[in-house]
Amino acid sequence: MVTGAGRGIGRAIALVLAREGYSLCIAARTREELEQTRKMTGLSPERSLIVLVDLADPEGPENLFNAALECFGRIDVLVNNAGFAPPRTPLERLSAADQDRMLAVNLRAPIALARMAAVRMARQGGGAIVNIASAAARTTAPGEAVYAATKAGLVAFTRASFAELREREIKVSVIVPGLVDTPLIPANKRLNRGLMLSAEDVAAAVMHVVKSPPHVCPVEIAVEPQRNPERARPA
């Protein structure tokens, strides 16, 4: 199961999982984008379930999980990739709606999905839960206070969950990427997009967790561009 699989990082993760032979439950809010992802995977409808879901909806995670179980009967890999971040906004001007959506999509939904997956994986004899956080969990800019808090919370949740679930053969890991060149980051003269990470770089980190030996769990993987994209382009 991959959330936020309609584009960007989520799509790249879905594609690499499909190449490794996994059937997929791909979830997002836009059917057209998910249909394109499915087409790119080459998987038949019997091996690729599309679920339209808004993870800010309190019932969204459970509805998504139940749909996947009804279709496939098990879940071996959960990738909590979906996220939300409004444009950088000073804390005193941040709307309650944006605050609540960040908390719901970036933290509440991944926790809910991980909890349900852990129960199922324990019955199956193991599995992998991979959360996609952000370097904002460590160092952030003004205007990202709540976003940073949600991602830092996801990192802490991952580490605590690993401590709880490791004896049940469940891997729990968090990927902490720096700047990734996706449509979510608008054009910006201060950024050299050629130096940013690609969505495929993050997908490779996810697969490092999924394919790690049974006795190994990469609990936290930080992936940064080798050179700093935030340095202005030369004149």
Distance CA 93, CA 173 (A): 34
Question: For the CA atoms of the chain, what is the radius of gyration?
Answer: 17
Residue 9 CB neighbours (<10 A): 28
Cβ-based neighbours of 45, under 8 Å, separated by 6 or more:
38
Report how far apart, in Å, the C-alpha atoms of 21 and of each of 17, 48, 139, 190 are.
7, 12, 36, 40
**Count of C-beta atoms within a 10 Å radius of residue 50:** 19
Indicate which residues carry an active-site annotation. 147
Scored b (16 or more CB within 10 A) or e, 186-223 reads eeeeebbeebbbebebbbbbbbbbbeeeeeebebbbeb
C-alpha 168/C-alpha 199 separation (Å) is 31
